[in-house]
Structure 1
Amino acid sequence: MKNKTLSVCFLMLFHFIYPQSTDRQVRNLSEVLVIDERSRNYILNAYDVVQLNDGSFIVSDKLDYKLKKFDKNGKFVKETGKRGKGHGEFRGPSYLASFNDVVAVTDFSSNRVQMFTSDLQFKSNFNVPGTVLDLCFDSEGNLWVGLLGGVGGQKIIKVDGAGNILQTILLKNQSDDIFESLFFFDINKKGIVAVCYMCLNKIEVWNTKGQFIRDFEVAGIPLHPRKKTIVKNLFSKDIEAPEDNIFWSLSFDNSENIYVLADAYTENPSKDVYVLDLRGNLLSILSLPERAVHLLMVSNDRMIAINNRRTKITVYGLKNNMDRKKR
């Protein structure tokens, strides 16, 4: 009887943490293209990826200190970069953004942004007042950069080609906890900005005029991650760090839906992608075939994912099923 009671309690807890929703749209994922060790140029650590207008891909390989270009079929085309601090050199290329013939890339855990052509020719570079957490072009070609630290805390700034600040968005969910300060963002074609935090279940919605619209939590996911002590102090507060992340990545599709890749606190860790509207309503949950740490929606029916070992980039096709079923 005791074991039966424990089983019932466990099931109740599971359904509380991972609620079984009402009807959700079912979408099938099909593998369209893979870029990995089978490609001519081995990927050591794919940090980010963008797809250009001609269908080709630019990958930032952090451990190889290079930007790598692949054609629309996944065939290696060329690469550029080496370890260093000069023009076209990197301490570890990380976040990418592209607009027409321009590719922006930042160095890992730094304030430097470099600009390249789509053919990987160096154009210019500039520094911003804080560590870059993410970057994105809007539909008019303006570059927006997410910053950690500096005056006012976490912010997203619009900059010109020389790095001069044209506009600033100070985020709502400011925190003294550095882990809860880490965030990602994306901008859709209508100038709506969506922000999610790596270690906090909050999504903020703004517009590029700097107007706050709303924030919300994703249902079924805890507000904060579990924490563990990493440094014990006798005379001050212990230093704690999250055991896992809440979210890995965020991206818009062309219909203003938000796709969020969840980490540990979901039924399929690092596989479940929550699809939300701008009010936070859950539209569907997609489950990737393998664990991922980054996703990019390039259209309503195409998704790019980087696997959790950062050695494989997969393009998935998304197809709607006419039937609807309960998850």
Structure 2
Amino acid sequence: MKDGHAEDIAAEGLLPVWLRDISGPAGGTGFYEKTGEHAAAFVDRGRHQLVVSFDNLADAGNPGHDVEPWGGKFIRDKGWSHLGVFARGPSWYRDPEIIGLFDRLARRGFFDSFDRVALVGTSMGGFAALAFADFAPGSTVVALSPQTTLDRTRVPWEERFLKGQARDWTLPCSDAAHTIGRIDRAYILYDPAVKADLWHVERLPQDRVIRLKGFWFGHKTAVVMRRIDQLKPFMEAAVTGTLTEPAFYRMIRARKDLLLYRREVEADLTRRGQKVRMKRFRDAFRNRKRRLANVLAEG
């Protein structure tokens, strides 16, 4: 950042926290590299834990000057080193330059220099966490509602993400079904009622996968976890490899009070032609919410 506009941004305190961490007076270490349609920012906070995060579709192309990589504040608060990968659009990371960056880092021993490495993301970012995992053998992957590929010759049933499908799926790291053979484990959170998400999970080698079924979360599993205040505990346990299936299912009990959950259940029951059961569920949901509101009002 050397032009006048960048200097104005710095003067106004609008630099992103990760950039201040790298270049501030405290003498932090790291790097920033722009590669074609993507960029990567690394903040070194020690060798004990590296988290590699990837933008999802909602975050991609954020025009703000103080944009954070996915999970940036959470990772910073935990004191973990962070390699945050930014996307300028719905690229699905089908860009030889960002793939080349990971290849160079792996060849230099970057990932091997950490005690633990976790690759994380949701949807498009979840795909990347799985697809790039082979660069970090022994790593943990935490992927929420991921795709395995958008190559229609491999997943002809995938009708979503048309812009992603139009990308170059002949590049390396294009099919996560073939890129997680050397990882330690992959925590995959998904809703089995979303058939395409289920089919993607079923393409993965199951001996490496811990399947966490967020029944009636819909595709936006991260949003549901955030709404029930469980996204951070979930991510902390998964990143450090301590998450168990029983613990996860205890975490998600509060989903039954979310309107998002109600809508997903109703949509699923409607698709299956169970309109009477759907109405019964809706009435029960409303009654429970009403009772809860009364209890809170009395307290």
Task: Calculate the TM-score normalised by the size of structure 2.
Answer: 0.29
Q: Which structure is higher in RCO with an 8 Å CA cutoff and minimum separation 6?
A: 1
Tell me which protein shows more strand as a share of its residues: 1
Tell me which protein shows more helix as a share of its residues: 2
Task: Calculate the TM-score normalised by the size of structure 1.
Answer: 0.27
